[in-house]
Chains A and B, each alone.
Chain A
Amino acid sequence: MSAEHASARIIAGYARGDTDLAADEVWAVEAHLEACRVCRDRLAAAVATGVPAVASLVDSVWSGLAPELAVTAPVPRRRHRPAWLSGWMTPAMVPWLAMVVGVTLLALLLDRAGSGSGFGLGSGSDGVSLVLLFAPVLPVLGVAASWSRGLDPAYELTASAPRAGLPLVLRRTASVLGVVVPALLVGGWATGVMVAQWLLPCLAFTAATLALGGVVGVTRAAVALAAVWAAVIVAPTLAAGGRTAAALRAGGLPVWGLLLALGIGVVIARRGAYAALGAHR
């Protein structure tokens, strides 16, 4: 037998409950038995052969338990929420994500109807696509929902946890984008808008929300940026009779790229802010 296992003398002594084992030996052998299956088997064998009193006691306990165990039906395993899912999105985010996908589909439907009948915003090659018009603000709503005091009931607990902070913010943002971007991809493909044309503003707005959110709170940042978007892009577009605003044309892409880089830079520089209560306002 390996030197790393308890000796036969100690096992036999432990089984008999002898007093000739020193207290430290009992302590050590118990700690070892917890971790070692081989020695537990040897102990069982030692009890069965060497100590009939203990063996009969164990048998009588078993015979008392067996009928009760037989009639107790195993508890049906409940549907269990997978732990990894809670790690990526809180329940508070789900209705908002559903809304975001709904809005995308609605914009897509309106686009199709508009271009089909010649009515609505999209007319001719210069007409604006509703998908394009809404793409940047949609993920912002989802991000706000995942970091909002009003919408996430466990916000204070989350903020006090060790995992709070930039990694958790990015994780939740990633799951929002993971839902929104495929929906927009379908929308963009169906309306024939170039991917970069909506993806860059979309990412730039998300980064800007997080950057501003570190200072004034993510919800406030989301509301402010959505208002800016409405005032600067949506209103002029509507006023101009549905012509795509200059910022959304291909020429505006470098500016969006720059804004995205700036937003990411600010988020990284201020990463400590996401672990305090302020970011949840």
Chain B
Amino acid sequence: MTTGREHPMTSAVSAADLAPTPYAQEIRATGLKVRVGRKRMAVDGLDLSLGTGVHGLLGPNGAGKTTLIRTLATVLRPTEGALELLGESAGGTGELRALRRRIGYLPQEFGYYKRFTVREFVEYMAWLKEVPGADIPAAVQRAVERVGLADRADDRMKTLSGGMVRRVGIAQAIVNDPAILLLDEPTVGLDPAQRLRFRELLQELGTDTCVLVSTHLVEDVAAACTDVVLFAEGRLVFQGTPDDLAAAGGTEDVGDSPLERGYSALLQGPGQGRGAW
């Protein structure tokens, strides 16, 4: 017989799991404006509500997608308007620490330390995200396994291919089990097979997380997203299901698939579609 500590019968469900959520939707923005530089409003009066699920953020280059995601990641402060994340106001200069612990973020330019191993890097990010010290090894292992890098976990980052580095980026974003996951162009550099696996991971995460994926690949949206947000020149152009987006396009619109035709039909408003690009 071992000298195990006397443990009371534990409940398999913790109180935190049973607590009701104090918000209806994870992300709520009303009249959101974000200035970049001195003059340009990259996000210009956005009203947006996003709940649990996978949301695809589509839009032409320079539409303000990255600025919007940075604002939601709380690294940029809104110039005007209200932003509510997980029921808490994220607009002001208040304390963001508790909120940030529940957000996962993969920036467009994912920078990393070449000399770190995958595990060291994800551990370092877990430390930065204030994951309790005792939980870090298990959380890191789980995140690395979820992106399929368990066999490369102890290799240095500089030996990884571009697609693998991207997956490390996703692993660091999910290491703190976020309630809001923000991924800025996560599929860049992934080969087709990896992209399929990534879409599966997105769907899995979307069952209990609010995932916002910015992309310029319409097919990613069709395959993995429950909801499409079309964004152009800092404003919301369309929000709905991928089927709604496909229905918006007619046969006369430009594009190879129904979704692409819907995309170009919605962006052909006044002032849009200037020039060859």
Contacts and interface: CB of A to CB of B under 8 A. Distances in A.
A41 B100 contact: no
A161 B7 contact: no
| Most chain B Cβ neighbours within 10 Å, of A30, A154, A161 | A161
Interface residues of A, number: 42
A9 interface: no
A4 B10 CA distance: 10
B90 to A, nearest CB: 12
B74 interface: yes
B151 to A, nearest CB: 11
Interface in A27-42: 27-28, 30-32, 35-38, 41
A86 interface: yes
Given A36-B4, A81-B116, A160-B105, A28 B12 contact: yes
A31 B12 contact: yes
A241 interface: no
Contacts of A162: 96-98, 100-101, 128-130
Contacts of A2: 6
A28, A90, A164 pick with most chain B CB within 10 angstroms: A164
B188 interface: no
B118 to A, nearest CB: 12
B124 A36 contact: no
A31 B10 contact: yes
A160 B111 contact: no
A271 B120 CA distance: 29
A185 interface: no
A159 interface: yes
Interface stretch (A193-201, A253-261, A272-280): A272-280
Interface in A157-214: 157-165, 168
B8 A160 contact: no
Contacts of B116: 81, 91
Given A155-B111, A157-B105, A157-B107, A38 B12 contact: no
Contacts of A38: 1-2, 4, 6
B113 A32 contact: no
B251 interface: no
Q: Which of A78, A92, A159, A160 has the most CB of B within 10 A?
A: A160
Contacts of A5: 6
Contacts of A27: 12
A102 interface: no
A276 B76 contact: yes
Given A27-B12, A160-B73, A276-B75, A32 B7 contact: yes
A277 B111 CA distance: 14
A92 B128 contact: no
A59 interface: no
A84 B148 CA distance: 27
A140 to B, nearest CB: 23
Given A38-B6, A153-B112, A156-B111, 12 more contacts: A28-B9, A28-B12, A31-B9, A31-B10, A159-B75, A160-B103, A160-B107, A162-B101, A163-B129, A164-B100, A276-B76, A276-B77
24 contacts: A31-B10, A32-B9, A36-B7, A78-B117, A78-B154, A81-B117, A81-B120, A83-B127, A86-B123, A90-B113, A91-B116, A153-B112, A158-B128, A160-B73, A160-B75, A160-B103, A161-B100, A161-B125, A161-B128, A162-B96, A162-B129, A163-B129, A168-B128, A277-B70
